[in-house]
């Protein structure tokens, strides 16, 4: 049992009031950041991309499905993964189904990308019970052009990635076993959110954010931050159908 304070209701209220001030400051900072995101310049996507989907080949513009905004999460599921997507990305994606109807009614199409072939993505989507469109960037330059994946040469050129590949901590070795790929291949995928806009027939890239930003994490972790007990320091994630028996 971790150490914790026990106090009176008055002591709790005093401490809670102090925390509320910090939370309010954090909220104001978030509003400022949201404004800055909207001020980012839009960059026209001039290259033509064609993706594999469950409904056949589709262009980037066609992925908007008639809406003006496209928000996509890049799930770590490379072509070398033999056992499925990253469990952490899977946990995040589990929370997306309920948001589909709300985003769609706000002129936003929500999808997920991965570099594995569409057959693998479709089977995994069915296994996980996901409802959002799952699009394959396999055999395209899209993921590399937008920083959603690294080439082998790029991965070796990043000291932090190279060190993780050559000297992985125990939890990362476990993770490699969960996805069924060597770390030199598994760590080349970048868990990221990416956004596009479509205006007057032109598609623009507007935003990207990648791990370790807190936004690129399973949604339930934000709930766990409000629970009484701290979480273990090392990351642990399981797919919902693979949780160990208690």
The alpha-carbon radius of gyration of the chain (Å, integer) is 20
Residues 6+ apart with CB under 8 A from 65: 109, 133
State the maximum Cα–Cα separation within the chain, in Å, rounded to a whole number.
64
Q: Where are the domains of the chain?
A: 43-149+189-224
3-class SS of residue 121: helix
Q: Round to whole Å and give the CA distance between 165 and 14.
A: 47
CATH of domain 43-149+189-224: 3.40.30.10
pTM of structure: 0.91
- For the chain, 246 residues long, the average pLDDT of each consecutive 10-residue run is 81 95 94 95 97 97 98 97 95 93 97 98 98 97 97 93 93 94 96 97 96 77 80 76 82
Residue-by-residue DSSP string for 193-208:
EEEEEEETTEEEEEEE
Output the pLDDT for position 237: 77
Beta bridge partners of 135: 113
Q: Round to whole Å and give the CA distance between 169 and 190.
A: 19
């Amino acid at each position: 049992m971790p150490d914790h304070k026990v106090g009176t209701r008055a002591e709790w209220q005093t401490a809670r009031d102090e925390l509320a001030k910090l939370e309010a400051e954090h909220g104001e900072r978030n509003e400022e950041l949201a404004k800055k995101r909207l001020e980012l310049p839009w960059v026209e996507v001039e290259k033509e991309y064609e993706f594999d989907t469950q409904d056949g080949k589709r262009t980037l513009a066609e992925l908007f499905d008639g809406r003006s905004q496209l928000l996509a999460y890049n799930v770590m599921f490379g072509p070398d993964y033999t056992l499925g997507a990253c469990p952490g990305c899977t946990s995040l994606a589990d929370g997306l189904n309920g948001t589909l109807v709300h985003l769609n009614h706000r002129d936003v199409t929500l999808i997920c990308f991965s570099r594995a072939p569409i057959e693998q993505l479709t089977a995994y989507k069915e296994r996980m019970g996901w409802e959002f469109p799952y699009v394959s960037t396999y055999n395209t330059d899209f993921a590399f052009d937008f920083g959603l994946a690294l080439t082998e040469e790029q991965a070796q050129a990043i000291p932090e990635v190279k060190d993780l590949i050559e000297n992985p901590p125990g939890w990362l070795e476990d993770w490699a076993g969960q996805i069924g790929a060597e770390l030199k291949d598994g760590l080349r995928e970048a868990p990221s959110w990416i956004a596009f806009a479509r205006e007057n027939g032109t598609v623009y890239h507007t935003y990207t954010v990648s791990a370790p930003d807190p936004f690129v994490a399973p949604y339930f972790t934000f709930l766990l931050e409000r629970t009484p007990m701290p979480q273990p320091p090392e990351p642990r994630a399981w797919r919902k159908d693979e949780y160990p028996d208690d």
